[in-house]
Amino acid sequence: MDKQIPCSSPLNALFPRELEGFDMLAELALDLRWSWNHAADEIWRKLDPQLWSLTHNPWGVLQTVSREHIAKLLADPVYRTLLDTLVKTKREAAESPGWFQQTYPDSALNTVAYFSMEFMLSDALPIYSGGLGNVAGDQLKAANDLGVPVIGVGLLYQQGYFRQIIDTNGVQQAVYPYNDPGQLPISPLRHANGEWLRIKLDLPGHPIWLRAWQVQVGRTKLYLLDSNDTANYAPFRAITSELYGGSADLRLMQELVLGIGGWRLLNALGIEPEVCHLNEGHASFAILERARCFMQKTGLSFSAALVATRAGNVFTTHTAVEAGFDRFAPALIEQWLGDYANVELGISTAELLALGQEDSCHAGDDFNMAYLAIRGSGAVNGVSALHGEVSRRLFASLFPRWPLDEIPIGHVTNGVHTPSWDSAGADELWTKACGKERWLGTIDELGKSIRAVSNKELWHFRTAASQTFVTYVREHLVRQMAASGTPQPEMEEAQHLFDPHVLTLGFARRFATYKRPNLLLQDPARLLRLLTNPERPVQLILAGKAHPADSAGQALIQQWVQFIRQPQVRQHVIFLSDYDMFLSEHLVAGVDVWLNTPQRPWEASGTSGMKVLVNGGINLSELDGWWAEAYSPDIGWALGDGKEHGNDPAWDAIEAEALYDLLEQEVIPEFYQRDTQGIPVAWTTRMRESMARLTPLFSTNRVVREYTEQRYLPAAEAFRARAADNGEVAQQIANWQQALEQQWAGLRVDGFTARQEGNHYLFAANVLLNGLAPEDVNVELYANGCDGGDAIRQSMDCAYLPDDNRGAHLYRITLPALHALSQYTLRIIPSREGVSIPLEVNHILWEH
């Protein structure tokens, strides 16, 4: 298959092409821009009001409605004028230069390939589980807003993540509806001649054929692969069946399809990204395939090709615990990738395994996908400042003898795509205060604008949001109860639950033990008193899924359901089942306070609390993840002491008491304390400052600009430099790395002196470089920082070059006597311009 053949996404042959204007309806329906830009909602509502309200899937509505009704609407001048205007606006938005084009018109960056196991874009495309997909989908949307040239690469799941039912006993049941591609807003990728673009993976046994699909996200594209091709061996058709389900074999196959198949898809489309962004380690095999393609193009060895391509790879880790990384037994890697390594990459299976093992001397160790990602990337980051620290500890073993603060893992704190999560009321408020284009460029002035909104206007906005929210909650709960076989009297009672004037707390996320969703249940009697206070009542809304294999998480759900079913509790607490994107949109728009109670530091970032910001919700959270850097006393409430206590039941009890105290003594009184106009002034003041200060800061507008400026642009320039002239620079670096490997063990210090003269220290060292040149190393004095300050690193000058480069080189330096002489230690590290130390070369020699 010629990769230069242009591919297209022609409309389905079953479409009524004779209907003039239908193509414009299809164009709108297939662009997920409608998932955050609601200007076209009336178009779909007129097609079928009931179906639209149930699905919010324009493509599904368009596929279902009769041709006669479509023709009738297209003949309506008002409807047609609206359609024409919307299509014109959409096309103009796609062609207009964004922030990136205006700020970096001559950039070396043309394409970022963003690989992720899941993308949360809309409930109409259910190929996500939770936080990881949320980050991926929101960043893809922000890339569209800002004009950053990002292309998404993922998998199309036949079933996706499970859907949740809570049965009459409060037990979670998992169901897996089929994702009918014909009802999803996706298009098959086809060649100009109509042939479906298919990717072939030649793995042991049977080849795997992968079908390619396209999702339009404004001016951004997401490409999806699925294995449900009729030419495949039957079990292989199920590779892309479930998200995060099945055996280790199935999981490995999914990651092969995503990484290797995904890069081959880009190759088949003629797309050559400068930057490959790995959103978690699942897609790390793309590193191997990218290097293989570069080998094929240049004739370089795998080691040199990896040097060239890794400069353009960016790895974002989202995992805060060692057990969270995907690992595979060596035998499994050898079974599925042995021939690929030997034949395609020209390396041994042992060499491949070493890329994913902590120590190549331990050949029996599992293959860790995160280790492969680190060894194959030019930049690595966590997803909050605290998570960056946690990640440096988690990966310290890959950089033995290096100080923790020099482990090469930074952070870019997550954010959310604000236009996707603001309610209609919030959008109106922000548009009035900040303008309609507020998220399309820099956002520095938004806080100043939102601070001008009055208490009265803010409270009116929140009151309306509460009313809308209560209406939705009742409708959702009744449908949920009907599905689980609840008696009719209880369903009728549910239509009157909750009060829009009562303080509403929200807790919604994956139910896992480390997230402590039952912290509020530590003292059920105290919680009940708090909820049922007649003067200052409180209502609590909960939602969340536990992984089908997580029995402990499922038990936490059952515990809540049993608590709620007590007659005195039922009016005050609701658990809404099947937590998905649509439910999340309503929750973050309606609750007054968002609760988050993880065990620090196991919440890498968290994004659910960020979504309430634009809607005027206030956070009460453990000092973990993003909240550890966002919190201040005037914008929300903090739980915990900012320290780590592990899985300690005693500490859980202490924090539960603190949570009850916070609610009873601060949160609830502030909400109910009103002025003469019935406005809670202290509450709206806190709300306003939270909205003004945090909403812009924790938006994907900021996140994608940071990735662009701190990661993508430098990575693109570094890759282009190493790839130039058929990878000449990459080959030179690879040769240098090989020389270091061979000669580093013979490097040693042959005498080190340190003395004080007056107010200065004089240091001298004789260093045997074992054939290396002085420019290959950096001889440094190192001292730990004092009182939490930065460490001291001072490079010594080479004062004498021996005639024989195997002789001793004399290094000297004079420093002010500001610290104790005993604090200084001599160390030697590799040095080469353009090479990231210790990410690419982690040798270090200490003189003790």
User: Is the pLDDT confidence value at 4 over 60?
Assistant: no
Look at residue 13 in the predicted model and tell me its pLDDT.
42
Give 709's DSSP letter: I
The two structure tokens encoding residue 563: 């608590």
pLDDT tens by residue, 696-718: 999 999 999 999 999 999 999 99
Query: Mean of the pLDDT values across residues 723-747?
Result: 96
How far is CA 814 from each of CA 749, 764, 799, rounded to the nearest angstrom?
19, 9, 12
pLDDT-based confidence at residue 169 (cuts at 50, 70, 90): confident
422-698: CATH, from 3.40.50.150, 3.40.50.2300, 3.40.50.2000, 3.40.50.11260: 3.40.50.2000
Look at residue 793 in the predicted model and tell me its pLDDT.
94
Return the percentage of the chain with pLDDT > 90, whole number. Answer: 88
What does residue 153 show for φ and ψ, rounded to 5 degrees? -135, 125
Fold of 747-847: Immunoglobulin-like (2.60.40)
Look at residue 401 in the predicted model and tell me its pLDDT.
96
Give 598's DSSP letter: P
User: Is the pLDDT confidence value at 15 over 80?
Assistant: no
Query: Mean of the pLDDT values across residues 206-231?
Result: 96
Tell me the sheet residues that pair with 222: 152, 215
Query: Which range is least confidently modeled, 164-178, 280-294, 592-606, 664-678?
Result: 164-178
Look at residue 7 in the predicted model and tell me its pLDDT.
54
pLDDT-based confidence at residue 17 (cuts at 50, 70, 90): low
The two structure tokens encoding residue 26: 């299809």
User: Is the pLDDT confidence value at 802 over 50?
Assistant: yes
State pTM to two decimals.
0.95
Reduced to 3 states (helix: H, G, I; strand: E, B; else coil), residue 313 is: strand
CB atoms within 10 A of CB 800: 12
Give the C-alpha separation, 147 to 440, whole Å: 9
pLDDT tens by residue, 382-417: 999 999 999 999 999 999 999 999 999 999 999 999
User: Is the pLDDT confidence value at 556 over 70?
Assistant: yes
**How are beta strands 573-576 and 593-596 bridged, if at all?**
unpaired
Look at residue 11 in the predicted model and tell me its pLDDT.
47
Give the C-alpha separation, 548 to 546, whole Å: 6
User: Is the pLDDT confidence value at 786 over 90?
Assistant: no
Query: Which range is least confidently modeled, 138-142, 562-566, 774-778, 784-788?
Result: 784-788
Q: Can you state the angle between helices 455-483 and 681-697, rounded to 10 degrees?
A: 80
Query: Mean of the pLDDT values across residues 66-76?
Result: 94
**How are beta strands 150-155 and 208-217 bridged, if at all?**
unpaired
User: Is the pLDDT confidence value at 14 over 80?
Assistant: no
Give the C-alpha separation, 612 to 422, whole Å: 8
The 3-class secondary structure across 642-708, one letter per residue, is CCCCCCCHHHHHHHHHHHHHHHHHHHHHHHHCCCCCCCCHHHHHHHHHHHHHHHHHCEHHHHHHHHH
Q: Is the peptide bond before 649 cis (omega within 30 degrees of 0)?
A: no
Give the C-alpha separation, 119 to 115, whole Å: 10
pLDDT tens by residue, 473-499: 999 999 888 888 888 888 888 888 999
Query: Mean of the pLDDT values across residues 123-152?
Result: 96
Query: Mean of the pLDDT values across residues 284-313?
Result: 98
In the block, residue with structure tokens 């009542």: 537
User: Considering the domain 99-414+708-724 in this protein, what is its CATH number?
Assistant: 3.40.50.2000
Q: Can you state the angle between helices 455-483 and 581-590, rounded to 10 degrees?
A: 140
Give the list of residues 6+ apart from residue 490 with CB closer than 8 angstroms, or none: 481
Q: Where in the chain is the domain with CATH 3.40.50.2000?
A: 99-414+708-724, 422-698
245 vs 280, which has greater pLDDT? 280
Of 233, 656, 683, residue with least CA distance to 456: 683
Mean of the per-residue pLDDT values of the chain:
94
Instruction: Select the highest-mean-pLDDT range: 315-324, 489-498, 708-717, 814-823.
Output: 708-717
Residues 325/319, Cβ–Cβ less than 8 Å: yes
Q: Where in the chain is the domain with CATH 2.60.40.10?
A: 747-847
User: Is the pLDDT confidence value at 33 over 70?
Assistant: yes
Give 258's DSSP letter: I
Amino acid at site 622? E
Return the percentage of the chain with pLDDT > 70, whole number. Answer: 98
Reduced to 3 states (helix: H, G, I; strand: E, B; else coil), residue 503 is: strand
Query: Which range is least confidently modeled, 59-63, 361-365, 492-496, 785-789?
Result: 785-789
347 vs 6, which has greater pLDDT? 347
What does residue 540 show for φ and ψ, rounded to 5 degrees? -125, 130
Give the list of residues 6+ apart from residue 94 with CB closer than 8 angstroms, or none: 218, 219
Look at residue 323 in the predicted model and tell me its pLDDT.
86
Give 484's DSSP letter: T
Query: Mean of the pLDDT values across residues 497-526?
Result: 95
The two structure tokens encoding residue 662: 């916070």
User: Is the pLDDT confidence value at 6 over 50?
Assistant: no
pLDDT-based confidence at residue 647 (cuts at 50, 70, 90): confident
What proportions of the chain, in percent to the nearest 5, are helix, strand and coil?
A: 45, 20, 35
User: Is the pLDDT confidence value at 267 over 80?
Assistant: yes
User: Is the pLDDT confidence value at 776 over 90?
Assistant: yes
pLDDT-based confidence at residue 3 (cuts at 50, 70, 90): very low
pLDDT-based confidence at residue 5 (cuts at 50, 70, 90): very low
